[in-house]
Amino acid sequence: MKNHKKNLSFAELRDLLCKLENTDSLFPIDEHAKENTLSVLRQAISDKEVHLLTDRRRIWQNQIRYADRSMLGFHIADCFLVLFLMAMMGLHDVDRSYMITISTLLAGVLGSFSIMQIGRACFSKIAELSETCFFNVSQLAAYNMILAGIINLAALAAGILFAGSHWKIKLLQIGLYMLVPFVLTQCASLGILLTEAGRRSPWMQAIIGIFLSVFFSVLAAMPVLYEESMLFIWGIALMIGTVLLGIQIKVLFTAINKGEILCTN
């Protein structure tokens, strides 16, 4: 059935208006109650205080309290898995070269996973909405980077100390062997995160992380690269990776503050 709209004439509209006014007259407005209600609302508005939180310690406390703990839980589980595998290699007294191969692989995976945690927490396709919340994207990224760094360094330090004491390797030597794959994998993963395609597809970060982890484990099969005479080269690689990682972090926060990442996320 078709609905036919009827256009009211001027006389009909005037008659309707009169009926509405007559109906309204049956419900008179209590001006005294109206004024009391308005005064209560005005008082409530004047009593309301807006607290600007500028204390960084309180901000960090609230970050820890309200942060999403799902990715943090996976990250901690990954660290425990790394330490568990190191302990199993020590328990079975595996060969030193095999231990170095597995250690570099685990360090690369750990570095890639930490960047994936930052990407998942800060750029989960709602970055523009996150920017309007109490914790903006810059604060979320800083919080997750610092927290991931603390967890990673604790796990790596434990692994380095264990490997050095069990396999009788100098701490500087085994430290470089694990830190270089860790830092360079982070550089590659963060470089992917800085691209729009990388933020849209976390699998790209996982793929590059797995590739580099396998690459460094293949390098471990070349004994000439793991002689003490090559420690200078490993040290240079660590310095270059650290500087590059610092530059990438600066680029990331600059892009966030400019809004370049928010508008494409």
Residue 239: partners with Cβ closer than 8 Å, 6 or more residues away: none
Question: Does residue 89 register a pLDDT over 90?
Answer: yes
Which two tokens mark 10?
A: 């001027």
* pLDDT for 265: 46
Give the residue from 182, 145, 144 showing the smallest Cα distance to 160. 182
More confident residue, 93 or 51: 93
Question: Does residue 1 register a pLDDT over 50?
Answer: no
d(CA 138, CA 251): 12
Question: Does residue 263 register a pLDDT over 60?
Answer: no
Q: What is the largest CA-CA distance in the chain?
A: 104
Tell how far CA 137 is from the center of its chain. 9
Helix (H) / strand (E) element for 199: namely helix 196-200
Average pLDDT score over residue span 233-243:
95
Question: Does residue 8 register a pLDDT over 50?
Answer: yes
Phi, psi of 93 (to 5 degrees): 50, 55
User: How many other C-beta atoms can be found within 10 angstroms of the C-beta atom of residue 167?
Assistant: 17
Give the residue from 39, 68, 69, 65 showing the smallest Cα distance to 53. 65
Average pLDDT score over residue span 14-42:
81
Q: Quote the mean pLDDT of the chain.
A: 82
Cβ proximity of 240 and 232 under 8 Å: no
Average pLDDT score over residue span 128-134:
53
Which two tokens mark 253?
A: 């926060």
Average pLDDT score over residue span 77-95:
91
What percentage of the chain reaches a pLDDT higher than 90?
29
What percentage of the chain reaches a pLDDT higher than 70?
85
Question: Does residue 127 register a pLDDT over 60?
Answer: no
